[in-house]
């Protein structure tokens, strides 16, 4: 499996978790930008950076947060390891829990 297929499979796992929490999820074009996935509900737009086996670098996290330009937007990072998805705040890397309609730090 090549690198892009591994990345896509990680994105699919994150997408499924976000959908279970009630978000509508789109893959960012070719996932070459700061956010790999865009997820939204009627209150919030999430910019999600997905990585396999590691958290995004501090520079990648800063770049992601530079695109959060409105109060209804939030950055989120996701790490997929051995089929498990962990979400974190991009600034602190503190754990974030998803519940239907709610994102809690």
Nearest-CA neighbor of 15 among 63, 54, 57, 50? 50
pLDDT one-digit tens code per residue, 13-47? 999 999 999 999 999 876 567 899 999 999 899 99
Q: Among the residues of 2-53, which ranges form H helices?
A: 3-20
CA dihedral 70, 101, 82, 60 (to 10 degrees): 0
With a cut of 80, say whether residue 2 has pLDDT above it: no
Query: Which of 28, 25, 7 is CA-nearest to residue 15?
Result: 25
What ranges do the domains of the chain cover?
A: 3-104
CATH topology for 3-104 is Trna Endonuclease; Chain: A, domain 1 (3.40.1350)
pLDDT tens digits for 44-72?
999 999 999 999 999 999 999 999 999 99
Q: Are β-strands 45-52 and 73-81 bridged in parallel, bridged antiparallel, or unpaired?
A: parallel
C-alpha–C-alpha distance, residues 58 and 62, integer Å: 6
Residue 3 confidence class, pLDDT cut points 50, 70, 90: low
Residue 87 tokens read as 């979400």
């Amino acid at each position: 499996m090549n690198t892009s297929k591994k990345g896509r499979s990680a994105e699919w796992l994150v997408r499924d978790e976000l959908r279970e929490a009630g978000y509508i999820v789109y893959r960012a074009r070719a996932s070459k930008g700061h956010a790999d996935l865009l997820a939204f509900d009627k209150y919030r737009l999430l910019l999600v950076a997905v990585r396999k086996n590691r958290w995004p670098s501090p520079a990648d996290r800063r770049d992601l947060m530079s695109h959060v330009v409105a109060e209804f937007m939030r950055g989120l990072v996701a790490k997929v390891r051995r089929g498990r998805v962990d979400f974190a705040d991009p600034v602190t890397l503190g754990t974030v829990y998803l519940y239907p309609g709610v994102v809690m730090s």
